[in-house]
Structure 1
Amino acid sequence: MHERGFFRPPHAWVGDVIPWEEDGRFHLFYLHESRQTPKVGMPWHRVVTDDLVAFTETGPALASGGPDADDFNVYTGSVVVADGIHHLFYTGQNPERRGADGLPLQLVLHATSTDGMRSWQRHPAHTFGATAGYETADWRDPFVFRDEAAGLWRMLITARHADGPERRRGVIAQCVSHDLATWEPAEPFWDPRRYIAHECPEVFEWNGWWYLVYSEFSESFTTRYRVSRSLHGPWTVPADDALDGRAYYAAKSAARDGRRFFFGWIASREGGVDDGAWQWAGTLSVLEAEQNPDGTLRFHPPVELAESFDRRVAAVASGTVLTAPDGYADLVLPEAVPSAFRVDAVFDIAAGTTECGLLLRASGDGDEGYLLRLEPRRNRLVFDRWPRRRTGGEQWQISGDVPFAIELERPVTLEPGPHRLEVIVDGDLCVATVDGAVTLSTRLYDRTTGGVGAFVGEGSATVLGLEVSTPGAGSPSSELDDLLVASS
């Protein structure tokens, strides 16, 4: 993998990211998951980036406290600055320790830095656990921010009520402080009684809108957001409240020059195969958010990453028509593509069309490969592959009754007309974006080679443009942008 726009440390994986922007540079603290057995204790490492394309690992940031410490595992938290001092709040967990309710104990801990985040001084006296009414096992991911209107600091905490239906005790608890040392319990910040837990919470204001972001630890593992005109709610549920799909998790954000970026991880799969179970931690991936007039957000990879793929290696002639009124038609470009490439395609979808989209790492005849399928009748983007998993030796023993890769679908409005499908592939990573607004990230393990193509099923789509590009050193073409505008 080129790690252009992505990052994974050697022989390890990126867990939850704690982003901090300062003087134009993003400092990305992250949970360094080594997957060693026996466990060695989770530390924080730090990676920095100026351009969101190249990432530099600076090494350990906050080490495990050791086997006898409250913070044997240093889990997710946040960073703030006050009076020139950096304050780091984080979760401490030791699997050998239990709370008063018999559950594995989680605690909030505090450290400070006076040398520009090069070293951290722990403050054990400031450690505290779950307040009354909450389980001791879920007291994590402290997010601290300044509430200037109230003249105090607020801390949001992933927590669970001690009582209630087991699956619906999740709550974002809240504590407040005037000195960042002593914290007092306050009313819950958000209490929907809907999920097991709301991990990695954060809140921020942007152009008059407030956003509450959290990762749903429940039936769906994905990062979601809520919108309000006030820090205190009520919070509105957007029609599409997810940043991405199942594979992209624990995203938290930082802003620079009026732009906001989310830093999460694309989960790996067990065994490094397409059918492997999703694992905790993976590869750092960045999404940029843009605001709609109603406060809702659209997401796509940073333009800096797209622009780094500026050497065109293949294309489909503009105006190519794929039509199959009651069947299927495709085309596969003859050019071989390397492990890292970008596809930028615009399809003018005819009314009544069932499906169209892109083939990735496809066989020459298009019969095998990965598919990113736009489905206008269902208003969704799905990820699929052929051949599908075999369940036995007989011809009929395949998972053909599964209409696409489960958990890898995204809602998107697909009215007749032009729609843009952009895809960045780097090694086993794949990030797709529809109309610069809806993203879907996943892994491509089993097929490592093949071509790029386009297809249509039961309908017609005109390819207004389709370009395949690889990393280069020049400036990207704007032809497809012009085509999309002209056709809208």
Structure 2
Amino acid sequence: MIHWRPVSGFVGDVIPFSHAERIWLFYLLDERPGDPTDGASGMPWALVSTTDFVHFTDHGVVLQAGDRDAEDFDCYTGSVVTDGSRLHLFYTGHNPRRGDADGAFQVVCHAVSDGDPTEWTKLPAHTFGAPAGYMPQDWRDPFVYRTAPDEPWQMVLAARYTDSPARRRGVVARLTSTDLEQWELADPLWEPHRFITQECPDVFRWGDWWYLVYSEFTDAFQTRYRIARGPDGPWLAPRRDTVDGRAFYAAKSVEHAGRRFFIGWIPTKQGDCDAGSWQWAGDLAVLEARQEDDGTLAFGLPAEILAAFSDAEQVKLAAVDGAATKPGEGAVDRYAAWIGDPVPERCLITVRADVEAGTQAFGVLLHAGADGEDGTVVRLEPQRGRIVLDRWPRGRTGPAQWQVDGDVPYAVELERACPLPPGVHTVQVLLDGTTGQVVVDDRVALSFRRYEPGACRPGLFATDGGFTLASLTVAR
């Protein structure tokens, strides 16, 4: 299983940490209890580790949730750092029973380890809440880092001002410390005046660029990032400012062996149904970042994951509905599709195609019916410069032929800007049961979930244009 999930529960926010030649993936263990105020246990941190994102060691719960009345009844997102002698874990404490009429308070908590990432001692005397001017209900996701080895430690948090328009109160608050115990309020790192808040902040330097990564749920549920020439900003939007789409949330990054990985989670859907609402937590997923000259990040699947699918073979395609015998036999002024035989539900599909100028749309069919009518659609739209995920059948509002969700042209949460000039493009699709990840040209990623796929039959299609197929392979 590439998209890892514990046997019991689901993966929430992931806190990655590189240590002792392994990547330690702390995560919020969502066991989906009932009403959190009914005396049930709170949310702990669990841990899984890996060296390749293919093989995982499950260490179970490593930071227990507090008792019923504790400030850390729920242990929410944070970060892990080392000062050279000890490991330090900072996390958000939350208790739905503690707060006021506006909601439960959130506090920053601290734990330490002598070097074993599976053993932690909490230091409740170091707990602190929001200072004056900040809402005590939103003081979370502490991320600790240094701008240089001899500089003070910095902590940034997802916070909100008490006095400003509610939808634009979000601020990346900042504190400094020389000992990781006492923290002093500093100027905010970023005040965008745009979001409810910016969850799970993450700051790092890569070459000549600094990066601020955050997840927001104001315009869309997405992980975004900003770039700057210095650690204090100004924080500017790159050409493509998102990591993925709706189905890869709360991604945080880690540098390991000179490479930068982003780890998030692919959410489940209510009722295990494609029409269900997105839920919090799901399956772990990873993308590797590559830095472009202007600071923009490109995202693809790590080489180790690609190498895990080594048994590749060409897919034989059959034209459907009167299409040309094979792709590339002239441009088309219609929809044309070609369907292959079923493949395993866990596989890597790779397409290389030379796309003609003026093509309106082309892409990959997944879980397609024998006639290409139904399926999951990975649609690349060169004229709009984007990739979207669609599915058929869509919902219906009634029995008449026109009572179809035709005014919902694709899964609106699953859209990414993607440069698609005429020429050769590569599309990789990793299928792992109900989860999937699409990567175009090792640059743009789009994760998704599909519960009702039918037979796992791949295919290709084009609309008003065409492409010449170089290869279509499936690797097990």
TM-score by length of 2: 0.95
In structure 2, the partner of 1:486 is none
1:50 aligns with 2:51: yes
Does structure 1 retain, via aligned residues, the 8 Å contact 2:13–2:251?
yes
Distance 2:335 2:307 in 1: 33
Distance 1:431 1:42 in 2: 28
Alpha-carbon shift at residue 120 of structure 1 (Å): 1.1
In structure 1, the partner of 2:13 is 16
Of 435, 439, 464, the residue aligned with 2:441 is: 435
Of 361, 364, 375, the residue aligned with 1:369 is: 375
Distance 1:207 1:137 in 2: 36
In structure 2, the partner of 1:186 is 186
Q: Which amino acid aligns with 2:369?
A: S
Does structure 2 retain, via aligned residues, the 8 Å contact 1:320–1:464?
no
Q: Which amino acid aligns with 2:255?
A: A
Change (3 A) 1:187 1:339: same
Most deviating of 194-203 and 443-452? 443-452
Aligned length: 465
1:34 aligns with 2:31: yes
Write out per-residue CA displacement over residues 174-199 of structure 1, whole angstroms, 9 at most, x where no aligned residue: 11111111111111111111100100
1:66 aligns with 2:72: no
Does structure 2 retain, via aligned residues, the 8 Å contact 1:91–1:140?
yes
Write out per-residue CA displacement over residues 134-188 of structure 1, whole angstroms, 9 at most, x where no aligned residue: 0010000000112337621100011001011110000000111111111111111
Alignment of 1:123-138 (within 5 A): 123-138=123-138
Distance 1:110 1:448 in 2: 48
In structure 2, the partner of 1:414 is 420
Distance 2:184 2:168 in 1: 25
Write out per-residue CA displacement over residues 22-75 of structure 1, whole angstroms, 9 at most, x where no aligned residue: 122000000000101143200000000011111121111101011110000000
Does structure 1 retain, via aligned residues, the 8 Å contact 2:254–2:262?
yes
Alpha-carbon shift at residue 118 of structure 1 (Å): 2.8
Alignment of 1:184-223 (within 5 A): 184-223=184-223
In structure 2, the partner of 1:288 is 288
Distance 1:149 1:314 in 2: 51
Query: Alignment partner of 2:274: what SS?
Result: coil
Write out per-residue CA displacement over residues 276-322 of structure 1, whole angstroms, 9 at most, x where no aligned residue: 101111100000000111111100111111111111244258x8416
Gaps of 5+ in 2: 318-325
Does structure 1 retain, via aligned residues, the 8 Å contact 2:327–2:466?
no
Alignment of 1:35-434 (within 5 A): 35-39=32-36, 40-98=41-99, 102-148=102-148, 151-316=151-316, 320-321=327-328, 323=330, 325-333=332-340, 335-434=341-440
Q: Which amino acid aligns with 1:245?
A: G
Alpha-carbon shift at residue 132 of structure 1 (Å): 1.2
Does structure 2 retain, via aligned residues, the 8 Å contact 1:17–1:30?
yes
Q: Which amino acid aligns with 2:122?
A: R
Q: Which amino acid aligns with 1:330?
A: A
Query: Alignment partner of 1:6: what SS?
Result: coil
Write out per-residue CA displacement over residues 241-276 of structure 1, whole angstroms, 9 at most, x where no aligned residue: 000001110011111121100110011111111111
Alpha-carbon shift at residue 219 of structure 1 (Å): 2.2
Write out per-residue CA displacement over residues 301-346 of structure 1, whole angstroms, 9 at most, x where no aligned residue: 11111111111244258x841655321111101x221110111101
Distance 1:301 1:210 in 2: 23
Distance 2:189 2:462 in 1: 47
Distance 2:401 2:379 in 1: 25
Q: Which amino acid aligns with 1:47?
A: V
Distance 1:49 1:406 in 2: 34
Distance 1:344 1:463 in 2: 11
Write out per-residue CA displacement over residues 200-222 of structure 1, whole angstroms, 9 at most, x where no aligned residue: 00101111211111111212111
Query: Alignment partner of 2:15: what SS?
Result: strand
Alpha-carbon shift at residue 361 of structure 1 (Å): 0.8
Query: Alignment partner of 1:164: what SS?
Result: coil
Most deviating of 387-396 and 188-197? 387-396
Distance 2:131 2:35 in 1: 32
Gaps of 5+ in 1: 471-488
Query: Alignment partner of 2:367: what SS?
Result: strand
Most deviating of 71-80 and 149-158? 149-158
1:454 aligns with 2:460: yes
Which structure 1 residue ranges, 4+ long, deviate > 3 Å from structure 2?
none
Does structure 2 retain, via aligned residues, the 8 Å contact 1:427–1:448?
no
Distance 1:115 1:455 in 2: 53
Query: Alignment partner of 2:180: what SS?
Result: coil
Change (3 A) 1:191 1:313: same
Write out per-residue CA displacement over residues 88-127 of structure 1, whole angstroms, 9 at most, x where no aligned residue: 100000000115x843100001111114123211111111
Query: Alignment partner of 1:418: what SS?
Result: strand
Change (3 A) 1:88 1:341: same
Q: Which amino acid aligns with 1:24?
A: E
Distance 1:22 1:115 in 2: 9
Q: Which amino acid aligns with 2:28?
A: L
Does structure 2 retain, via aligned residues, the 8 Å contact 1:103–1:137?
yes
Distance 1:78 1:359 in 2: 39
Distance 1:339 1:48 in 2: 25
Does structure 1 retain, via aligned residues, the 8 Å contact 2:267–2:278?
yes
Alpha-carbon shift at residue 20 of structure 1 (Å): 0.4
Q: Which amino acid aligns with 2:3?
A: F
Query: Alignment partner of 2:315: what SS?
Result: strand
Change (3 A) 1:344 1:102: closer
In structure 1, the partner of 2:322 is none
Does structure 2 retain, via aligned residues, the 8 Å contact 1:322–1:456?
no
Alpha-carbon shift at residue 418 of structure 1 (Å): 0.8
Change (3 A) 1:420 1:181: same
Alpha-carbon shift at residue 450 of structure 1 (Å): 3.3
Distance 1:302 1:457 in 2: 32
Distance 2:61 2:143 in 1: 21
